Amino acid sequence: MLELECLAVTGPTGTLMSGSSIRGAGNGLGNFARFFLGGLQPTLLEVDAVERWGEVINTIDVGIGGSVVLRPFSGGLCAGNTNGKVMIIDSRTSHGIVRELDAHTGEISDMTVDANSHTLVTCGWSRVGDSGLRVDRLLRVYDLRSGRAQVPLSTSLDPCFVRFIPGCSDSLLATSQTGAFQTIQWGKIAFSPNDLGQLWLGYDRLVATDLSQK
């Protein structure tokens, strides 16, 4: 493994563990049977967590963009890469990758899947000119059942992290590296200052965010 970037735990079929939340923190650890390791290398590793604990049992070719973000859902695994693509992976198939989504033109920085495993939302970077990058202020939205792109969601900050709010399939929290955050709701046209907030960080920048159930 070269430069491990992400890890996802799944059930025995390489999909979301039964009884578990989309964010992987639920009560389904009894169904924990696989974990996937992604990084800056062209292969995604599938590792056994039961009889052959720690043994690589499958490799999936994900290309030179590697895999820097992994999110399991009921139909498989979403893997975001450094080129802005999201690969939908079913490790039970011979090829592994069943669909590719062109979400951003730069690296995927985060992804989230709703509790029904129907909707994928991504945030990432956009390429500017020949070599520049800037944070894409649009959250890209996809229907995981069809693979079709939906209307993107606009933000008022530079989103580097995104999460569905627990218990809400139509509400998200987007967060920037500087600690600014915004709640976003589908169908809400008017922007309110109450949707924005700021974490006063005592350090350089955020490197991860998550939401608790309670």
Question: 85: which 2 tokens?
Answer: 């693509």
Q: Looking at residue 189, what is its pLDDT?
A: 67
As a whole number, the mean pLDDT across the chain is 90
Nearest CA to 142 among 71, 196, 83?
71
Q: Is the dihedral of CA 118, 137, 165, 89 positive or negative?
A: positive
Q: Looking at residue 30, what is its pLDDT?
A: 56
By the 8 A CB rule, do 88 and 101 touch?
yes
Spell out the residues 6+ positions from residue 175 whose beta carbon is closer than 8 angstroms to its own.
157, 159, 160, 161, 162, 181, 182, 206, 209
User: pLDDT tens, 150-168?
Assistant: 999 999 999 999 999 998 8
Q: Can you give the chain as a three-state secondary structure string?
A: CCCEEEEEEECCCCCCCCCCCCCCCCCCHHHCCEEEEEECCCEEEEEECCCCCCCEEEEEECCCCCCCEEEEECCEEEEECCCCEEEEECCCCCCCEEEEEECCCCCEEEEEECCCCCEEEEEEEEEECCCEEEECCEEEEEECCCCCECCCEECCCCCCEEEECCCCCCEEEEECCCCEEEEEECCCCCCCHHHEEECCCCCCCCCCCCCCCC
By the 8 A CB rule, do 90 and 76 touch?
yes
User: pLDDT tens, 50-101?
Assistant: 989 999 999 999 999 999 999 999 999 999 999 999 999 999 998 899 999 9
Tokens 């009894």, residue located: 30
Q: Looking at residue 10, what is its pLDDT?
A: 93
